[in-house]
Amino acid sequence: MKIVAITQARISSTRLPGKVMKKIKNKPILQYHVDQILKSKLINEVVVATSKNKEDSVIYDYCLKKNIHCFRGSLKDVLSRYYYCAKKYNADIIVRVTSDCPLIDPKIIDKCIKLYKEKNYDYVSNTNPPENATYPDGTDVEILNYSTLEYAFNNCKDRLLREHVTHFFWKNPKKFKIFRLDLSRNLRRFRFTVDYQEDFLLIKKVLNNFVNNNIKITLSNIIYFLRKNKKIKSINNIRNLDLKKN
Judged against a pLDDT cut of 80, whether residue 208 lies above it is answered with yes
When pLDDT is cut at 50, 70 and 90, the band that residue 245 belongs to is very low
Domain assignment present for residue 229? The answer is no
Annotate 202-243 with three-state secondary structure.
Answer: HHHHHHHHHHHCCCCCCHHHHHHHHHHCHHHHHHHHHHHHHH
- Provide the 3-class DSSP secondary structure of residue 17: coil
Domain harbouring 64, CATH code: 3.90.550.10
Domain assignment present for residue 208? The answer is no
CA-to-CA distance for 242 and 240, rounded, in angstroms? Answer: 5
Name which residue leads in pLDDT, 145 or 15: 145
Q: Give 7's contacts (C-beta < 8 A, 6+ positions apart).
A: 33, 34, 37, 46, 47, 48, 49, 96, 97, 98, 99
Ranking 12-16, 80-84, 135-139, 182-186 by mean pLDDT, the lowest is 12-16
Domain assignment present for residue 233? The answer is no
Domain assignment present for residue 220? The answer is no
Domain of residue 91 covers 3-188
Average pLDDT, rounded, for the chain: 95
- Mean pLDDT over 71-98 rounds to 98
Q: How much is the pTM? A: 0.95
Domain assignment present for residue 193? The answer is no
CA-to-CA distance for 111 and 189, rounded, in angstroms? Answer: 22
> Number of folded domains in the chain?
1
Domain assignment present for residue 119? The answer is yes
Instruction: Strands of 134-204 (E only): list them.
Output: 142-145, 178-180
Domain assignment present for residue 231? The answer is no
Domain assignment present for residue 198? The answer is no
